[in-house]
Structure 1
């Protein structure tokens, strides 16, 4: 087991998490191998199906599988989906749920059906606003919680910023928690600058290229990256099949990484795996180029599996892939690109992690 990480005041704390997360949890049901999109009045049989926790769980599982002590503040419904997700996250993945709550009767865990179509997917979701806000979950934890004020002790937080700032985020940043942020698509297409104003609280910002260009009013990913680098120490722009580019103003580094050339089974949650992997490598103090390549690799490995959360490769999955590359005479280019893994993979990475099962009865 790793040594206790220091809290923001420099003292070790056995209970402080490496990563704090909060957001909406979903139960995901993923269908793969569709020959064509569904058409009203027809029935399509798919070649594969998987299920598991989704939404904010994608980030939590991806981080935990890379050895980060992860604390998740979310809301579970008092239903089959909520109990199943809680069991997977706490029992199987070892994620701390002491800041999470079970909703009163009548509120159910949101459910998403994902139809994987080529390298993209279509989503159908049923759910409602949770009965507890992020601020209530983190700043007013239940009396039984052992959190001891996680925002004041967490080494980092990975957050989804939106038009409405969260109070807990400012408190966490003020206490020394390193904030990594992403952002979602704005259906109003207003791309309010109020969102970017929140970057003053952040250490790193990881939007995709469409979001980055829209919020910065630029017309290329590179121009968007440069604009964002004036607002946040570490700016990353993800580009799907074109990989990612990044700037770290604190070190003067620029880096770019290509995406893994791999057949896509299900792209659900790949961006979340990228973000969690980038955080893990950042907390380990790796150079920017290694952080970016590692995150792109983890995201690429995740799309070979069903679902979001349980497709995360973890150290076991990365080690399995690297052993294959090391033994493949035709993989010289990959060995050069990812040679740093030889010194990064733990001595005992463990086996490849559990994957998404067919939905339990």
Structure 2
């Protein structure tokens, strides 16, 4: 409580997301399909930022807002409604906020995006980054200078990685893990970068490169190793109907960081992250579907399954006495004047 550093520092590209849910089948040219649901809100890096902030973490976001209606709406939501520190962010005159349309069908979704590179790079936004307890980063083929600076000033770097469109999966990218405290790829990415054929084998390879290695497995849960404590954990996913998977991986990462900052055992950290990600896919959208303490508390108090009550019994001692009021959810359309 006497540490006044930001709990989480992050930077990345912001999107205005429009999510369509309940598609019976993919659209085809010349056809009009009506959907059962729709939502809109900030996306991209906002998914991580809001998920962290809703767990009470002091979250500092460096991103670029367009000077259009979408950019202003996203800034209002993130800074005003969600309470993020956006002092490291910039508004770019004449640059349109990138827009993504997400078509959610079954357990997955297709994305259609329009946008361009922002006029300010991550390194420009961050400069000499402030010391923080953690940083959530997305490592890419071209290393970002600010990540090395953050690691040097004592910030614990939690990293993930994205799909490689070239499908070369260069193992050299993993050299950046020398700067990281934790790495949280999904199963496909982990196996591709480590040239292994199972999540367990990939986890073993990654555990030699980074203190905390986590491999997410979608409907099969997640596995992890913490070399700093000698712990290993393998937890299943929850049986949850998926409405929209947008941002679920980001909610997982932010939740794992939340529990890690609390000093929880590895299995509890992993179960908590799996739960939060599972709760997020029951609502449309990415950022504003994050459950926060309120959503987790509501799930726990409503839970009747005896097996899950035992598996998640640790929540009785972890949940805050006051989880806060119900959270704002993804609106169908943005209000004409957002507070």
Q: Structure 2-normalised TM-score?
A: 0.98
The reply to whether residue 75 of structure 1 matches residue 64 of structure 2 is yes
Distance (Å, rounded) in 2 between the aligned partners of 1:131 and 1:84: 20
SS in structure 2 opposite 1:153? Answer: coil
The reply to whether residue 255 of structure 1 matches residue 230 of structure 2 is no
Distance (Å, rounded) in 2 between the aligned partners of 1:334 and 1:225: 26
Match runs of 1:103-122 below 5 Å: 103-105=92-94, 107-122=95-110
Shift of 1:235: 0.2
Determine the structure 2 residue equivalent to 1:202: 180
- 1:320 touches 1:352 (CA, 8 Å); kept in 2? no
Determine the structure 2 residue equivalent to 1:344: 318
Given candidates 27, 33, 47, the residue that maps to 2:36 is: 47
The alignment's C-alpha RMSD in Å is 0.8
Distance (Å, rounded) in 2 between the aligned partners of 1:351 and 1:291: 24
Q: Deviations over 1:271-312 (max 9, x none)?
A: 000000000100111000000000000000000001000000
SS in structure 2 opposite 1:275? Answer: helix
Match runs of 1:1-361 below 5 Å: 3-5=1-3, 13=4, 16-105=5-94, 107-139=95-127, 151-325=129-303, 328=304, 331-360=305-334, 361=336
Distance (Å, rounded) in 2 between the aligned partners of 1:152 and 1:70: 12
- 1:313 touches 1:352 (CA, 8 Å); kept in 2? no
- 1:152 touches 1:177 (CA, 8 Å); kept in 2? no
Q: Deviations over 1:32-69 (max 9, x none)?
A: 01111101111100000001000000000000000000
Distance (Å, rounded) in 1 between the aligned partners of 2:234 and 2:256: 13
Aligned residue pairs, count = 335
The unaligned stretches of length 5 or more in structure 1 are 6-12, 140-148
Shift of 1:257: 1.2
The unaligned stretches of length 5 or more in structure 2 are none
SS in structure 1 opposite 2:100? Answer: strand
Distance (Å, rounded) in 1 between the aligned partners of 2:198 and 2:234: 15
Distance (Å, rounded) in 1 between the aligned partners of 2:293 and 2:124: 34
- 1:78 touches 1:108 (CA, 8 Å); kept in 2? yes
Q: State the 4+ residue runs in structure 1 displaced beyond 2 angstroms.
A: none
Q: Which moved more, 1:191-200 or 1:310-319?
A: 191-200
Q: Structure 1-normalised TM-score?
A: 0.92
